[in-house]
Amino acid sequence: MKALVPWLTVVLACCVSASPVDTAYDLLDAVAWQDGYALEGLVSSDLYTAFTEFIDQIRALHDEDPVLVESILQSRYRGRITVADFESLNNQEILGVLLGEVVIQPDEQVMRETAEMEGRIATVVIYYFNGASVSFDMVWEDGDWRITDTSLLAYLFH
């Protein structure tokens, strides 16, 4: 029986998915590390499609009017990303660069978090001592909680 306990612990640990709160903090980590590959795995397929459509639109517009695209990128992202980046980087790398525009609060400033779940839908809000908050809407998709919308990324793609 004692030999079975470690194996049972390993099996349970492998089969338990992250909670919505864990997923929210994973996204904060992806933003902090500017990790577009991690972002891809944390957002819903619909939201990731919206991100890639945005990137494809910039690339298509560049073919028509590269000066306009450079102006848009400069004014919106303050030179963090350029037309050359859209030509040389893949989608995940572009997302990683864009994540550098997102300002997040330090973990030690977290005051509390709330999570509401109803069926396959969840909402997480992280509150900070300075009065700021970040919200995450999620859906259960492909065996994990995936972010469908968040106030954290709204500026980047709207």
Are 83 and 73 contacting, i.e. CB atoms less than 8 angstroms apart?
yes
* CB atoms inside a 10 Å sphere around CB 142: 8
Each residue's pLDDT tens digit, 72-131? 999 888 888 999 999 899 999 999 999 998 989 998 999 999 999 999 999 999 999 999
pLDDT of residue 3: 57
What residue ranges do the domains of the chain occupy? 18-157
Letter for the amino acid at 61?
L
Q: Is the pLDDT of residue 158 over 80?
A: no
In the chain, DSSP finds a helix count (H) and a strand count (E) of 8, 4
Each residue's pLDDT tens digit, 4-60? 444 444 444 444 578 999 999 999 999 999 999 999 999 999 999 999 999 999 999
Q: What are the tokens at 118?
A: 């109803």
Are 78 and 71 contacting, i.e. CB atoms less than 8 angstroms apart?
no
What's the average model confidence in pLDDT over 131-155?
A: 94
- CA atoms lying within 13 Å on the CB side of residue 44: 18
Report helix, strand or coil for 93. Answer: helix
pLDDT of residue 128: 96
**Which has the closest alpha carbon to 147: 54, 53, 59, 29?**
29
pLDDT of residue 78: 86
**Class for the domain spanning 18-157:** alpha beta
